[in-house]
Amino acid sequence: MSAPRPPAGTTAATPAGSPARTKTARAAARAAVSPDWRPCAPLAHLQARAALLRDLREFFADRGVLEVETPILSRAAATDPALASLHTDCLLDAAAAQTLYLHTSPEFPMKRLLAAGSGPIYQVCKVFRGGERGRRHHPEFSLLEWYRPGWSLECLMDEVAALVRCLLRRPNLASTRLTYRDLFLDHLDLDPWATSAAALGAHAHALGLVGVADQLDLDRDGWLDLLLTQCLEPGLGRDATTGRPHLTFLCDYPPSQAALARIRPGPVPVAARFELYLDGMELANGFEELTDADEQRARFAADLAVRARAGQPLVPPDEGLLGALAAGLPACAGVALGLDRLLMLVTAAAHIDAVLAFPVERA
């Protein structure tokens, strides 16, 4: 006997487990799932990352540089006022939780390895910096850092250029070197060693940076950095006549911007450091490393004083690094290179999210 038909104008209930109900449930489930489960980077970009990592490891293996691994969590943090360290409270034992910091760079423990006699070393790792999000910035990013005992900054720049050419597979990519002072003199007619903070600020306003500058309380180095990033940096790493990309090493910074680099004495002292640009993008930051423990302690103290005046968190400096310097860090040069940005150039990606499987918003 057939089942009775439902009254006119009504719909028969679909039995549980029927194909129709199952199909409807699946459709509803798909609609309820957030689209954010999918990766941002296409498969081709993930494959490009794997190839880049393979090539850089082969590059360093051929040159006898040891790959090392150091902790991501540390009891100390970067004192640099420009860096915001992320932290976590970790219960290490039955006692109270201890604050540990996610490293902004593996530099300090790598220098401890150098002081212990490691020889040339490199590391590929994730690093973390708060307050960094944008087209070329992400709070968690991949960094390549390496150190060469006994090398000058000039020798290291040669190796950086060789590595980038290798990873981009562009062996004939041109390279040039430009001093920080010449850049400002040639393009802004300003001497960064002699121009006052007030004059730098007036120049920034004249160039239309009023909206940016008025929100900031800048000192002399702050104005220099604003002019560099907003006016000069976009043109670095490409030929001014043809527009073709090339490697530009910007070197010999003001001593006040030495960070962890040593200062070269002379009629005009300079910080022995460089930044590498390609096609308007900063890729790397290198130093002839400071090896004096007393000077490093003084720089940590100066950083913390700036933090105190600005109302920034006061973080513990790295006593392990100071101990390594006191024990004897060999003269060396080191550099950190942003792998995600380099991968953006490899894949022609316009946004860093396009080379990350899951950016922070989808993590």
Q: What percentage of the chain has pLDDT greater than the value 70?
A: 88
In a domain, 41, yes or no: yes
Taking CA atoms, 113 is separated from 56, 67, 118, 320, 326, in Å, by: 21, 12, 6, 11, 14
In a domain, 72, yes or no: yes
Q: What is the pLDDT of residue 240?
A: 84
In a domain, 196, yes or no: no
Mean local confidence (pLDDT), 253-267: 96
Q: What is the pLDDT of residue 65?
A: 99
Instruction: Indicate whether 313 pLDDT > 90.
Output: yes
**Structural domain containing residue 333:** 36-173+245-362
Q: What is the pLDDT of residue 93?
A: 76
pLDDT in tens, 87-141: 999 887 767 789 999 999 999 999 999 999 999 999 999 999 998 899 999 999 9
Whichever domain contains 107, its CATH number is 3.30.930.10
Instruction: Average the pLDDT over each of 153-167, 174-188, 202-216, 284-298 and give the range with the smallest value.
Output: 202-216
Backbone angles phi, psi at 288, to 5 degrees: -85, 115
In a domain, 209, yes or no: no
Domain count, the chain: 1
In a domain, 194, yes or no: no
Instruction: Indicate whether 20 pLDDT > 70.
Output: no
| Residues in CB range of 173: below 8 A, 6 or more apart | 161, 164, 165, 245, 246, 247
Q: Which residue has the higher pLDDT, 80 or 212?
A: 80
Instruction: Average the pLDDT over each of 16-25, 46-55, 243-252, 324-333 and give the range with the smallest value.
Output: 16-25
Confidence grade of residue 5 (pLDDT, cut at 50, 70, 90) = very low
Residue for token pair 């953006």: 344
Instruction: Indicate whether 8 pLDDT > 60.
Output: no
In a domain, 279, yes or no: yes
pTM of the model: 0.88
Q: Hey, what's the torsion of the CAs at 229, 160, 262, 235, to 10 degrees?
A: -20
In a domain, 89, yes or no: yes
According to DSSP, the residues that pair with 333 across neighbouring strands are 148, 288
pLDDT in tens, 144-184: 999 999 999 999 999 999 999 999 999 999 999 999 999 99
Confidence grade of residue 218 (pLDDT, cut at 50, 70, 90) = confident
In a domain, 215, yes or no: no
